Chain A
Amino acid sequence: MTGSGPSAALVTRIALLAVVAVFLQTGVVSEVPLFGVNIDLSPLVVAFVGLLCGSTVGAVTGFAVGLLVDLTLVQTLGVTSLIFTLVGYWSGRLKELRDPQAAITPLLVGAAATAGSLVGYSIVEFLLGVDAPVSLELLRQILIGIVLNTVVALPVWAVVRRILEGGLPDDPRRRRRRRRAYTTGGLSPLSRHT
């Protein structure tokens, strides 16, 4: 993100996205189990916000979404916030340091964010003393959860990007790439006549 911070339009879009994602998750997606496991949209949304907007916005979004999830589902406050803050920060740092542009990036980021959040939950729950040692069933559920979230990562990425795109500041590198494509590729009106 730039030094001046995110614009009001971007903050509004992210807030709207977070609220809709949490309601959609608790009201619909969590009610439809696949292979005994639910798809979890929240870590995907947080990771993709970080990937588009950077580490600070990613971390703040993670904290806010986590708090909303914990409040809505009457869970232990702070657990989801802690995990999603780290997920959002990590994906934001990935953008800031490497800015990966490959088409497969959202897929890998989605899988890593889901794996990170599920393993993070497990660690926090163990630390809090929940009586559920590692078992094959638990590992199976974590693995299926990662696979399912990876499958839906691309559509979720497309939706998040579409919602946030209008509020994002114009990235100089992206602008350069667009200009190069315009002057050398089929987008140029000159190239149509040649």
Chain B
Amino acid sequence: MLALLVVLSLLLLTAYFGETSNGSLHAVQRGFLTVISPIQDGANKALKPVRNMFSSIDDAFHAKSQRNQLLKQVDKLRAELIANQAEKRSYRELLGLYHLDGRLNVSDYQPVTATVVGKSPNIWYETVVIDQGESSGVRVNDPVINGEGLVGKVAQVASDGAEVNLITDSTMGVSARIGTTTATGIVQPKVGDPNDLLLQYLPANTQSNPGEYVVTSGTVASPDDSLYPPGILIGQVTSENEESGYKSVNVRPAVNLHNLDIVQVLTAAQNSLPVNLARLTSSLPVGQSPGASGAQGEQLASTGAGE
């Protein structure tokens, strides 16, 4: 019996790993997700008070250190706010010049609000299951955000549910920049540390300081990649590393990925104006690309570091 079950497991594993996402086993999995999503949703709602009780105990343990950290952050943000207000004014003026104002808001990406109904307990799978799927317009590769910042992207879709790869999943890669700079790099999970991120392939002369914010750049690495709207917070710089030719910085994710509840799927991101603009730019010959650093990032991303 043991041998039979082990062989069956190995057959399943080999077949699943070897087939494409349209394969029969994936289809069975999606079908199961479709059936189970409403049950999971109901169970999730029914068990929410229990979850909240445990969460509040955990929150109480961390309340003091969080308060001190937030007080420091408020001081820092107050100073930044004053500087940003001036920048925002000039930014709006520039957007107005290009008739793009209002088109880059998250609301234009047709966000679909979803509840997280399942999460893997395993440190090897950085995924969550949400209760919205194809019937709500959710598609594979749609970006997923919440109030704190970027959460991840949709990996698989069923009619009433979807699997979301978190930004800390080993398959992820997001085009990003440090808040005050224009140089872009690729944010990927830090190898061996599932709770940390690494912004890689930045030009060597890029200036960065601990505490600075890392945001999505709003560009795609290749025409097939998903687009994360520009300016979505990914995390904060914690330290920097010098590598041969390029610079990389360690980034602490802004979103508490261990405690996700409500998220938004940006369903119009793939065919939106910024995507089309970005695709147009990436289809240009390298010499006509808007900046050397951007071209480098795209080339690197397409050689394996991409999304």
Interface of A toward B, CB cutoff 8 Å: 23-34, 36-40, 42, 55-56, 59-60, 62-63, 66-67, 70-79, 81-82, 85-86, 89, 118, 121-122, 124-125, 128, 130-135, 137-138, 141-142, 145
Contacts and interface: CB of A to CB of B under 8 A. Distances in A.
B2 A85 contact: yes
B191 interface: yes
B287 interface: no
Contact of B127 (A38, A75, A137): A75
Contact of B12 (A26, A40, A77, A133): A77
Contact of A63 (B9, B25, B194): B9
Contact of A77 (B13, B43, B258): B13
Contact of B6 (A82, A135, A137): A82
24 contacts: A28-B47, A28-B51, A31-B259, A32-B51, A36-B258, A38-B119, A38-B121, A63-B9, A73-B127, A74-B33, A74-B156, A77-B25, A79-B9, A81-B8, A81-B9, A82-B10, A85-B6, A124-B13, A130-B170, A132-B124, A132-B192, A134-B192, A135-B193, A141-B123
Nearest to B33: A74
A164 to B, nearest CB: 19
Contact of B16 (A36, A39, A76, A132): A76
B136 interface: no
A138 B189 CA distance: 13
B10 A137 contact: no
Contacts of B120: 26, 30, 73, 75
Given A28-B50, A60-B1, A78-B13, A130 B36 contact: no
A40 B121 CA distance: 6
A72 B6 CA distance: 20
Contact of A66 (B9, B10, B51, B261): B9
Contacts, number: 164
A50 to B, nearest CB: 11
B121 A25 contact: yes
B58 interface: yes
A138 B192 contact: yes
A55 B194 CA distance: 35
Which 4 A-B residue pairs are closest in the complex by CB-CB distance?
A135-B192, A78-B13, A78-B12, A82-B9
B122 interface: yes
Interface string B166-210: 000010000000000000000000011111000000000000000
Nearest to A66: B9
B13 A74 contact: no
B118 A27 contact: yes
Nearest to A128: B17
B44 A27 contact: yes
B125 A75 contact: yes
Contacts of A82: 6, 9-10, 13
A48 B260 CA distance: 31
B145 interface: no
Contacts of B5: 59-60, 62-63, 81, 85
Contacts of A28: 47, 50-51, 54
Contacts of A73: 118-120, 125, 127, 129, 163
